[in-house]
Structures are given as structure tokens and as C-alpha cells.
Structure 1
Amino acid sequence: MKTAHLASACILGAITQFAAAQTSAALNKADEGRLVAIAQANIAEVAAGKMALEKSANADVKQFAQMMIDDHGKGLDETRKVAMAKNVTLPTDPDAAHQKMAADLQKLSGAAFDKAYVSKAGVADHTKVHAALKKDIADSKDADVKALATKLEPTVAHHEDMAKKLNAAVK
């Protein structure tokens, strides 16, 4: 009889620990939204960078685009790791606003493309994402989401600065 009670207590303990682990991994809706937004920003920057590599003839724009692909690809990998640990399903495509921006960019070529890419995907997007990451750092309740935003913020700030300089140079 004591063995049966001991076995029941062990099973109950294991179930309780499993439930606690599941609860601790779950995100609140705001932090889940932050994780999705970070993923979509990275997805959009990689896609726009690939388009710029194909469409631009400007060496500086191509160099910037390659940096976007490399850095935001790494950022997306980091975001996916956190999402997997938190049981969050991330989108695989850019959001509607970035899809529209991509469609608009696709219609352009030459210097018009370069200027639009740098001003929209470069300056405007990085300014917006940089502000969002600062807010994520301040407001995230989940330590892993906060750590991700903290890790990505300096890179996005650097991209924002580079985009502003490139935007001034691209005619």
C-alpha cells in the first residue's frame, strides 16, 4: 500500500512539474506579439535585401543589402530559437505593409529603386523597428523576449545609422 501511495505521489509530482514547465514557457499575448513582430521585421529585411541584390547596380546599396540579409538572417534564427522554446508559431512571410512595400519596390529600377529601397527598407523600417525594440526592452515581461530585443537593438541602431548615411549619398 505504501508503494502505491509513493508511486502516486511521484506521478503527481511529475505531472505538476510538467505543467509548471509548460506554464513557464508560455508567453503572454503582448510578448508573443513582440516575438511575431521581430520575426516579421527580420523576414522583410532579408526579402528586401535579396531584391536589392538583384535590382541594384550601386555597389554601396548592394553592400548594405548583403549586410541586411546576413544580419537579419541571424536575427531571424535567434528569434526562431526563442519562439521554439516558447511554443510560438512564427509567420513565414512579411506582414501586409512589407508585402506592399516589396510590390512597390519591384516596380522600380535603377536610381529610383536604390533611393526607394534605402529610404523605405533602410531608413524608415529601421527607425520604426529600432523604436519598437526599445519599447520591447522596456515592456517585455518574458526574460527571453527582453534578452532577444536587447541583443538585436544595437545591430538595428547600426543599420539605421548606416541607412541614413547611405540615403544621403544615393541620388
Structure 2
Amino acid sequence: MKRTSLFSKGFLFAAVLTMSLGMTSCKDNKETDPAEAAEEQNEEKFDDANNNLEDDSDYLVTATEVNMKEIKLGKLAQERSANPQVKEYAQMLVEDHNKASEQTKQLAQQKNITLPMDETEDVKEAYEDLNDESAADFDKKYIDMMIDGHEKTIDKMEDAADKAEDADIKAWAAGMLPTLREHLAKAKSIKESLDAAK
């Protein structure tokens, strides 16, 4: 009798362990970040190829994530901001990053580069972070995020324009820089206005 109950307990433990492992692996599959998934696919695709698209593809993956973020946050700012200057800036970003997104997708298709199709964790977190702000602090937080985000993106695109092996990707990155620099300058100017209004 004792033997049977020990066997039953052992069997039950094994079943629970198997189920929990199964659930964990399913969870991991579901929670793979779209940007990471795209990078992994590009690594597999270009690893053995006689080109340097494996490294260059990262620039397009990053740009896609940035475009998603700027469009989503720009739409939120258009809804939530009461400041005409901020609303106008947000609209410009939505329009410009939609254009940039189309250009990036076209180049990725030409080069057979996989891009993230869904919002990444970074995009979701940035949206939640901004949306949690009070009405009084919203504009300052949004503009601070735009300054920080554009500085990082400019660094990445300058790197691509300088170091990308593929000539088309090099030219694409160089073409993105004037608009990104304009966005950054405008954000800094708005920040000064917001600070002065306090």
C-alpha cells in the first residue's frame, strides 16, 4: 500500500514538473521580443552568406523599433497634450516616422532582411511610462523622451552611415540623419519653452 502511494506521489510530481516545463517553454515562445526574433532570423539567414548583412540588418531592426515608438508616442501626445507646440511637433513626428518606416520596409524587402512586425517590449514600456504621467507633467516627459530617443537614434544612424558594409544601407542611414537632427533641434527648442513657462 505504501509503495503504491509513493509511486502515485512520484508520478504526480513528474506530471506536475512536465506540465510546468511545458508551460514555461510555451511562455518563452510567446514572450520573445519581436526585435530579438527578427535579429535571430537575420543571423540565421546571413550567417553563412558571403555578405555582411548580418551586422547591417541590425540598423534596420533598430530603425523599425524607433519608428514604431515615435508613431505610437506621437499619437498619444496628440491626444493628451494641451500645448499646441507639442501637438504640432507630435504630428510632424507621426508623419515623418511613417515615411521613414515605409522606406525602411522597402529597403528590408530588397535585402531580404526580417523586421519586427509587432510592437516590441521597449515600445510598450515607453507608451505605458508616458501614459502614466499626469496632465501637468505629460509634455515635459514626452519632450525629454524625444530628446533622449533622437540622440540615441542619431548616434546609431551616424554609425550606420559610416560603418555599414552595404552601400544601400549606408545611403539609407545618411538620408535619415537630416530629419532626425531636425526633430532633435525642435524638441530642444520646445523643452526651452516649457522650462521658461514654469
Alignment partner of 2:185 out of 152, 161, 165: 161
Q: TM-score, normalised by structure 2?
A: 0.70
Structure 1 segment 82-101 matched on structure 2, within 5 A? 82-101=107-126
**Structure 1 runs, 4 residues or longer, greater than 4 Å off:** none
**Are the aligned partners of 2:81 and 2:139 in contact in 1 as well (CA < 8 Å)?**
yes
Q: Could you say which structure has the greater relative contact order, defined with CA pairs below 8 angstroms and 6 or more residues apart?
A: 1
Task: State how many pairs are aligned.
Answer: 147
- 1:135 partnered with 2:159: yes
Structure 1 segment 1-171 matched on structure 2, within 5 A? 28-120=53-145, 122-171=146-195
**Are the aligned partners of 1:43 and 1:92 in contact in 2 as well (CA < 8 Å)?**
no
Q: Distance in 1 between matches of 2:94 and 2:52?
A: 28
Q: Distance in 2 between matches of 1:92 and 1:72?
A: 15
Higher radius of gyration, 1 or 2: 2
Q: Percent identity?
A: 33
RMSD after superposition: 1.6
Q: CA deviation at 1:94?
A: 4.0
SS of the equivalent of 1:82 reads: helix
String of CA shifts for 1:136-164, please: whole Å, max 9, x gaps.
Answer: 10110111111110111010011011111
Q: CA deviation at 1:27?
A: 5.4
Q: CA deviation at 1:89?
A: 2.0
**Are the aligned partners of 2:67 and 2:100 in contact in 1 as well (CA < 8 Å)?**
yes
1:140 partner letter: A
